[in-house]
Amino acid sequence: MDVRPWLLILLCVVASWVQAHEPPVPGKIMLASEEWDNYTNRDGSGLGWEVLRQVFEPAGIALQTRSVPYTRAVGLTRRGEVDGWVGSYRDETEGVLYPDLPFDADHVYALGLSTTPAPTPATLGHYRLAWVRGYKYEDYLTNVHRFNQIQRRDGILPMLEHGRADFYIDSLTEARYVLGQAADPGKFRLTPIIELPLYVGFADNERGRALMAVYDQRMAALVKSGELKPIFQRWKLPYPF
């Protein structure tokens, strides 16, 4: 007896079953983020939003954005109230899903007085540091012992000028924003410290898994094609891939 027709029928049944049990891909994605200047602006502009729009919208998934403080963005994702949050370090938080590929790298800088010796990753532990609460730089910078976590970026320059901290640690975009508020920018210096891959942290549910699968597929294609390079050039930030 020729078993090929039965084999074909079986394969069709299996394929139909797999397709029926695959989670449907949503037509929109809601991502939360802290409002970072020229990166995740409240109006939906900025490098980060532009990259993620290029990831999802050609796949038929409309990007919706929500601006909230960083720790709130993480909490909303963990509760499934949004589909993900922007700017996580790998495995930074439990109870969420991490994709295979980052969408950018965090260029972490130290902002300090120009009269203070420029720090290195090896010497940072000798200084008093400050950064925004929730960023957990202590997990990524070795030999760091003395640091304060601040609520907002207001008042950083006076803090440095009056010796309440030696260096302020933040991403390049935010450090530039803070430095741009100085009446005399020459009094300060920016020093590169470390680069950390940045991820979207997805909600650990069916929607999150479906959206993450699209994200990984699209990011792999975009990195291979180089299509994201003009976005980074337009926003004057280093291309991380």
- 166 and 112 in one domain? yes
Range of the domain at 37: 23-104+196-234
Residue with more model confidence, 7 or 24: 24
In whole angstroms, what is the distance from residue 137 CA to residue 156 CA? 17
Residue 98 lies in a domain: yes
| pLDDT tens readout for residues 76-89 | 999 999 999 999 99
Q: CA dist 66 to 54, 102, 136, Å?
A: 17, 20, 22
Query: 238 near 104, Cβ under 8 Å?
Result: no
Note the pLDDT of residue 15. Answer: 45
Note the pLDDT of residue 6. Answer: 52
In whole angstroms, what is the distance from residue 44 CA to residue 25 CA? 23
Residue 14 lies in a domain: no
Q: Token match 């008042």: residue?
A: 155
* Mean pLDDT of the 176-201 span: 95
Q: Which two tokens stand for residue 202?
A: 């997805």
Q: Token match 């920018």: residue?
A: 185
Q: Over pLDDT 90: what percentage of the chain?
A: 72
pLDDT at 54 exceeding the cut of 60: yes
Let me know the angle formed at the C-alpha of 105 by 86 and 172, rounded to the nearest 5 degrees.
90
- 112 and 98 in one domain? no
- 40 and 154 in one domain? no
Note the pLDDT of residue 22. Answer: 56
| pLDDT tens readout for residues 142-177 | 888 889 888 888 889 999 999 999 999 998 888 999
- 188 and 165 in one domain? yes
- 63 and 170 in one domain? no
Residue 80 lies in a domain: yes
pLDDT at 117 exceeding the cut of 50: yes
Query: 101 near 110, Cβ under 8 Å?
Result: no
The enclosing domain of 204 has a CATH number of 3.40.190.10
- 84 and 46 in one domain? yes
pLDDT at 23 exceeding the cut of 70: no
Q: CA dist 102 to 49, 119, 165, 226, Å?
A: 14, 27, 32, 15
Exposure class string for 170-185: b at 16+ Cβ within 10 A, else e: bbbbbbbbbbeeeeee
Query: 203 near 126, Cβ under 8 Å?
Result: no
Q: Hey, is 5 helix, strand or coil? A: helix
In whole angstroms, what is the distance from residue 188 CA to residue 33 CA? 28
Residue 50 lies in a domain: yes
Q: Which amino acid is at 12?
A: C
Residue 220 lies in a domain: yes
* Mean pLDDT of the 207-228 span: 97
pLDDT at 13 exceeding the cut of 50: no
